[in-house]
Structure 1
Amino acid sequence: MNCDEFVELVTAYLEGTLPAETEQRFVEHLAECDGCDRYLEQIRSTVDNLGHLPAQRMAPEVRDRLLAAFRDWPTG
């Protein structure tokens, strides 16, 4: 597993939804890569600190503008 794949799988790992084989590769990469180890800790910290915030509603027109702005965003 490379670092790009690791980053794409962090959310699934934290949610416990990775297939066993992928999780094993994830954990193996984590043990070898100090950068990804720090990245995972930063994501955990972010979730811990912000995960309890209540969802806020936004005006429908704001939501539509945001969705339109990112509709063609490159995904990789």
Structure 2
Amino acid sequence: MHIPKTERLRRLLAKQLLQTDVNIDLIDLCRATLAMRAVVAEEGLILKGEESLAWAHFLQRTWRDLEGFYWNKIYAA
């Protein structure tokens, strides 16, 4: 998505959610780092699809990758 379109969407969502636009982050989860995916999984507000298979797969992948990261950090040193 292009930056102008993303910014328009962010402002529209902020208005609909009665928030300021600085409180809204739009994240491309397919390209997000593990740290960002973990923040989204733990703190993100899901607007649509919370019960979807795609969201379940995202959570499963994120937790699996986090487990692998910490396992490597502890045991692969």
Give the structure-2-normalised TM-score: 0.36
Larger radius of gyration: 1
Larger RCO (CA under 8 A, 6+ residues apart): 1
**TM-score after normalising by structure 1:** 0.36
Larger helix fraction of residues: 1
